[in-house]
Amino acid sequence: MRIDLFCQVVDNYGDIGVCWRLARQLSRSIPVRLFVDDLQAFSRIEKAIDPKQSPQRVAHTVIHHWSDAEQAQPAPIVIEAFGCDLPERYLHHMPQHTQLWLNVEYLSAESWVEDLHLMPSPQANGISKYFFFPGFTEKTGGLLAPMEGLEIEKGVRAAEDVDSISTVESVVGLSIPTDHKVAFIFPYPNAPLETLYEVLAQQVQPWTVLLAATAPEPVLSPEQRTRLSIHRLPFIQQADFDALLDAADLNIIRGEDSFVRAIWAAKPFIWQPYIQDEDTHLEKLRAWLARTPFDAATKQLIMDWSTSQLRTEQLQQALQGLNGWQQQCQAYARELAAHYDLVTQLIAFCSQKCQKAVK
């Protein structure tokens, strides 16, 4: 088997973040060509990428600029990420070379995903395209597992195995007092950060806040500036981003790529989904929360973060029970790790379909 994986960088590097994880894991056992329309964006999350070179080989994966696909012979297996439109010339030549075409879709916990997972859709070039849906149940494609370099037992790193302070210092070069807790914040602009800063500043144990490069500038009172240590990070590599998720005591994250990775970090986290018209994103959030083993207070906290209804006393209680919150996150990660991961299921499906095509 050989795979061509196509990715268009649409918004905030999440698309290429997911595709790079997918490509790296697939290429451990199957040759993969990754076609990307924005190598400059790609190079911001992976330092080994040369944005001016195509093709190039990184981590056993051959990287191409999108335009190379116009002259490329299609692979036996073609994967388009998130419904990106493949180049016309490539589409035209697929019937002579391609046995299986898949669309790896966006992650959702909604029930309709189970019905559409692995359903074929006949296309104009005569090949059926199969929809492959990541998800949280055994009737979906599962989740992308953590990348290499983690100590995992049943899918979850033991929290005590990570020295938070030394990890943060090695990744971002900051000297953090040993008595501080660490919050890693990668929010959307409308997140209730003022409430978060207010509550963190009230804690008995001091907090260091690591702000992602895209986070809004914090608005703090003089007292909060005295109580909180806030550092804005430069744009960091995907591997460093993952290390901070593992090290932080609290993660505030958004989108899809960081969402899945925060789950595997097994640390207390709040997820804010990508904002959509008519509050469709809130339906997705409710569907996911309904499938978690979190207690009612934790579910309400995460929901209220995205609906601008978060209360200071609500977050105060959550931070006072931080250990219990972490135990819930660890249990959830173990539960999900018991399912087959996305790459395992994807390879199995490809093998099955390609064997039938040969026969």
Contact partners, residue 111, CB within 8 Å, separation at least 6: 287
Instruction: Tell me which H or E stretch contains 62.
Output: strand 61-65
Residues 4, 15, 198, 249: which is the catalytic one? Answer: 15
Active site residue 179: no
- Cα–chain-centroid distance for residue 305? 19
Contact partners, residue 236, CB within 8 Å, separation at least 6: 171, 172, 213, 244
Beta-sheet pairing, 61-65 with 56-58: antiparallel
Contact partners, residue 116, CB within 8 Å, separation at least 6: 131, 133
Residues 4, 37, 240, 256: which is the catalytic one? Answer: 256
The CA distance from 147 to 301, in Å, is 29
The CA distance from 177 to 240, in Å, is 20
Nearest residue to 336 via CA among 295, 294, 276 = 294
Q: What letter represents residue 262's amino acid?
A: A
Burial of 124 (0-12, 13-18, 19+ CB in 10 A): exposed
Distances (CA, A) of 289 to 205, 270, 284: 29, 11, 9
Distances (CA, A) of 236 to 50, 51, 252: 16, 16, 16
Residue-wise DSSP of 176-215: --TT-EEEEE---TTS-HHHHHHHHHT-SS-EEEEE-TTS
Q: Within 10 Å of residue 37's Cβ, how many Cβ atoms?
A: 18
The terminus-to-terminus CA distance of the chain in angstroms comes to 15
Active site residue 15: yes
The residues carrying an active-site annotation are 15, 256
